[in-house]
Structure 1
Amino acid sequence: MRELIAKYREKGFKLTPQRLAILNFLDGNTSHPTADDIYREIKKNYPAVSFATVYNTLQALRDRGKVAEITIDFQKKHYDPDIRPHHHIICTECNKIADVFQDYSEALRLPYNIKGEFQSTGNHVNFYGICKKCRNLSRYVSKRENKKRRTKLCA
């Protein structure tokens, strides 16, 4: 925790107890939480914390390059404290987000006609699919529903 505090203080980041709680929550977090997720969690120990404090802290961290802001569904922004270059895979059933550490730079070259119009500064790929937990749940539900149907047909 001391390293975390020192890291942000040297960047001129004012550290209130609420901000420390937010930083602590984000440190090593791989769940890609939304501001609302963070707010609900922090509020448990800091009942006076406001959503604005959480949101403003996230924006300050984003502006300093300490968290990545990820737009998955255009309704909610998710925050990723792992700022190393990487991509994401999103479950279309439960919205779980997982990191994909694979370099696709060579495969994602801009077509020649666009290169003249844009100077590329990076890329990001979102993969979509159904996570193992949801696939297993789906199989369980399907088996249960099939059993009900068979029971009705056989009765």
Structure 2
Amino acid sequence: MENLMQIFKDKNLKLTPQRYAIYKYLLSVKTHPSAEMIYNALKKSYPTMSLATVYKTLKTLNEIGLVQEINVGEDNFRYDANVNNHPHIVCLNCGKVDDIEKANFDMVKEEASKYTNYDINSYKIYFYGICPKCKKGR
């Protein structure tokens, strides 16, 4: 968080209280929230912040590499402050999105490189299934 001010300064951007709050919130959760979820979580503390501000801030944070946008096939995007390459798993029942931690899928990148003439810079891998909570409820 200490470098956040410098990152914004280097990009000629202003670090507003709303931008700070949204980024801090994303760092504090692993739920991969949507813009609406973030807005609802912060609106009590920031009553003048609009949903549009949340969307604009997420776009900015994504563009400067502080968050990643996750498209798991829903009508909206989810956001993750962990910008390292890592796979996600999505519950087809409740829509929960989790990280698959400690798994290394760089071999997929290397394998894909064998079959293309591309220089692969990054990748996103999504798995879909039923989470333990939903399995238990069946």
Correspondence 1:82 to 2:82: yes
Question: Percent of aligned pairs with the same residue?
Answer: 35
What does residue 135 of structure 2 align with?
Answer: 135
- Which structure has the greater CA radius of gyration? 1
Q: Deviations over 1:90-144 (max 9, x none)?
A: 11000111111311222451275x413x332222211111111001111xxxxxx
Instruction: Sort the Cα spacing of 1:133 and 1:17 in 2 relative to 1 into closer, same or farther, 3 A.
Output: same
Instruction: Sort the Cα spacing of 1:119 and 1:100 in 2 relative to 1 into closer, same or farther, 3 A.
Output: same
Q: Which runs of 4+ in 1 moved over 3 A?
A: none
1:19 shift after superposition: 2.1
Matches of 2:83 and 2:113, distance apart in 1: 27
SS at match of 1:45: coil
Structure 1: tracts of 5 or more residues without a match: 139-155
Asked whether the 8 Å contact 2:86–2:99 carries over to 1, the reply is: yes
Alignment of 1:2-151 (within 5 A): 4=1, 6-11=2-7, 12=9, 13-101=13-101, 102-108=103-109, 109-110=111-112, 114-116=115-117, 118-138=118-138
- Whose RCO is larger (CA < 8 A, sep 6+)? 2
1:46 shift after superposition: 1.4
Matches of 1:28 and 1:129, distance apart in 2: 25
State TM-score, norm by structure 2. Answer: 0.86
Structure 2: tracts of 5 or more residues without a match: none
Matches of 1:37 and 1:106, distance apart in 2: 34
The one-letter amino acid paired with 1:86 is: H
